[in-house]
Amino acid sequence: QVQLVESGGGLVQAGGSLRLSCAASVSVFSFTAMGWYRQAPGKQRELVALLTSSSTRNYADSVKGRFTISRDNAKDTVYLQMRSLTPEDTAVYYCGASMRTLEYWGQGTQVTVSS
């Protein structure tokens, strides 16, 4: 009964910042990898940022240098700090995690960036 719950989405003006949170019902060390994904209208879901069990971080080219994925082990929470947001970042953002052969997804949180 692993659960992932995202929060922190909302409306922000271009150039602004938001921090998304993903609270897990189990230790984040239980996962092989955790990441943030997004899906914009008319587009398929894409990987935004990935944090592996070895603490390796990977980012999509479109967000590299602007977004940072991190975790708070004490709170079993993964964050996505988003800076210098643009309208192209508008999407539903999902927290995802892998545990061996299983995958888990949060319900998603809407991020809307106005010009």
For residue 54, pLDDT over 90 is answered with no
pLDDT in tens, 13-24: 999 999 999 999
Mean pLDDT computed over every residue of the chain: 95
The answer to which of 2-6, 29-33, 76-80 has the lowest mean pLDDT is 29-33
Q: 50-61 b/e with 16+ CB inside 10 Å = b? A: bbeeeeeeebee
For residue 91, pLDDT over 90 is answered with yes
Confidence of residue 92 (pLDDT cuts 50, 70, 90): very high
Tell me, what's the pLDDT at 29? 83
- How far is Cα 95 from Cα 54, in angstroms, rounded to an integer? 18
Tell me, what's the pLDDT at 1? 79
